[in-house]
Structure formats: C-alpha cells, structure tokens
A = this chain, B = another copy of it.
Amino acid sequence: MLFANRSVTTKAQAMVFKNYGPPAEVLKVHSFDLPSQIGSNQVQLKTLASPINPSDINQVEGVYPSYPPFNRDLGTVDEVAVGGNEGLFQVERVGTNVTNVKVGDWVLPRHTSIGSWRSAAILESTSVTPIKSNNISITQAATVGVNPCTAFIMLKDFVKLEKGDWFIQNGGNSGVSRAASQLGKLWGYNSISVVRNRPNIDELKQELKDLGATIVITEEELADRKFQKDVLFSQVKQTTGSTGQVKIALNCIGGKSATNIARVLSEGGNIITYGAMSKQPFSLPTGLFIFKDIHAHGYWLSRFGNKKPDEKKKIIEEIFDLYRTDRFKDVPVDKNIWKLSNTIEENGEIFIKAIKKAMEGGHDKQIIIFE
C-alpha cells in the first residue's frame, strides 16, 4: 500500500453504461472519488485524451465480441462498464512494487476494454505501457493504437509486398485508409483508394493523392467494368510496367464495394476485411475463388494486440518515429474538451454530442481532451 501523494487528482468522472444499447441512451456520466491509497502493483493515471472509435461504439451497442468488465469498482449502485478502448494517459502515482512505469510517464493501454472514457483511472501497472513523449502530440499518441496500427499490420502481416506492388482499399477517406496510403508510399507500394462520390470530389482526390495514394477513384467508377478495364488497369500498368500486381484489397465496407475491390485483385490476391460500414455481408462470385485464386481473410486489431502486445508496441514506436520526422500525418481530429470543473450534465452533453457525430459520419475523428 502507498499513501496518497500530494497534488494527485482526487475526483474523477467516467462515461459508464449498465446495459448494452444505443450509446446516446445508455451512456451516463458517473462522478467518483479516487481512493487515497492504491495497491502496490497499481498505477493512478490521468487521462490526457481518448478518441471515439467505431469499435468503441459497437462495444457499447453490444454487437462487438470484446466485452468490458461490469463491476461496482467506481462506487456505482449498479454494475457498470466504462466505455472506450484507446487513449493516452499520464502516470500520477505508482504503487510500491511498480517498476515498468514512473510518475510523469505517458502510457498507452496494453489491451482492449480498458475503459478509456474517464478522466482518471487506477489500474494494474501491467495493463499500460510507457511511450517516449518527445515531439509527439497528445492526439497523435492517443490515436496511434487503432488506425495507424491497423494499416501498418494489414500491409505487413498478411502478404509480403514488393516495391512497386499495389493494394486497393475502399473507405479511402477513413483514418485507416489515410494511414495505409501514407505507409504504402513510404514503403514503395502503389495504392488505389476508393471513395464515395461527393460535391468536392476533385478536392478530396487531390488531398488523398498528396497524402500518398497513387490513384483515387469513386465507388461508381470502380463499379463500372468498362472504367475498370480501360482506365484503371491501364493506369496500373502505366505506373508499374507490365509487372504491376494488385496483391491486397483492404475492405472496411462490405457488400458491393468489397466485391468490386476484390475484382481488381491480381490472380492469387488477398482481400482483408476489417470493417463492415455498409452492414452488408461479404459476397464474392465463386469463380473469383476457384479460378482467380483469391483468398479472403479478416483482420481484428484486438486479436493481434492481445496476442502480440510487444510487437504492437514496436509498431507504435515505429509510427512515432515517422511522426517525429514528419513522414506521417495524423488524421484530422475534432477536439471535444471535457473539463473536470464542468457539471456532469455539461460533460455528458459534450460527450454525447461527440459520439453522435462519430456515429453519423462525415466529420473528423472525434476525440475527448480531458482538462
């Protein structure tokens, strides 16, 4: 046991839910006192920032197969879970036996379901991992663990790409896709990003190309077999000579969009599904499997991270180095300021507004900054 240091936070708030359901309905702010003592293997963390990711939302809805613990640890009447899986924390105090982190360290969660939507947390020290904070912004650190890691692992862990090889991705404007385009360019891969048509489509195409995408096309263009044959494949060929192979398709949409990006794959190519924004199943003509030797896989960051936490940590350090040397841009974020001096009603309103924006789409990534 360790007695309370001076100047550590003593009050905290968290977004909790006692039942799965629509996030705007089931999530409530809970205010609680932090204990004056923490366990010898525990750490007290102040949350600096925490994003709202689609998987966090699905987890609250109860449709995500990674279930947070429900308990009364925060002094609630009912058993509740704290929402949020990703975030950046700073260590405020450490138990007597803790050696892996020290006061002042920036730390990231080592596993999912950590409950990151709270201003402070007391956790086992082994559930977090310290990072080097020099020349890294709070939002970069708070959002590194999901989108950039997903892009990194999908491009590195399934199929060995050679310089000049291609990948295609739908949801081309998403955080993962933006990360993939940038990493692809850094590593010498070409990419085709597929986006939905919109009023400012030319502007978006240029922006994604500036970021690293080789070709940007709309879903409508992709679905047009004539465009595929006459324009897309000839661009692929022109860019790489006759050897250009489209070896990977990254799918976060499902339905027709998934089928269409799979059609662009070269013989023996792999389609990796990591999301289902259309809520449509993945469907492929059997001929693509049998005669074109297409392989379909799924990718789940939680599985990777929980199985290989050390490898994930290495990847995060590599991405931080890219940030530091200005070779990688983080996604645009919409900062929502959660002040502990606010009433719980005010903070609840700020949070619910942010999660609604995250759910309706078309906004920048929602992130909660704790002040």
Contact = CB atoms under 8 A, between A and B. Distances in A.
A290 B281 contact: no
Interface string A271-308: 00111100001111111111111111111100100000
B295 A254 contact: no
Interface size on A, as a range, is: 20 to 34
Most chain B CB neighbours (cut-off 10 Å) among A65, A282, A285 = A282
Contact of A293 (B288, B293, B294, B303): B303
A291 B282 CA distance: 14
B303 A298 contact: no
A289 B282 contact: yes
A298 B294 CA distance: 7
A276 B286 contact: yes
Contacts of A294: 298
A291 B298 contact: yes
Contacts of A289: 273, 282, 296-298
Contact of A282 (B274, B286, B299): B286
Nearest to A285: B281
B296 A300 contact: no
A293 B285 contact: no
Contact of A298 (B276, B282, B283, B288): B288
Interface string A289-331: 1111111111110010000000000000000000000000000
A89 to B, nearest CB: 27
10 contacts: A254-B286, A273-B290, A275-B290, A281-B286, A282-B285, A283-B283, A289-B296, A291-B300, A293-B303, A296-B297
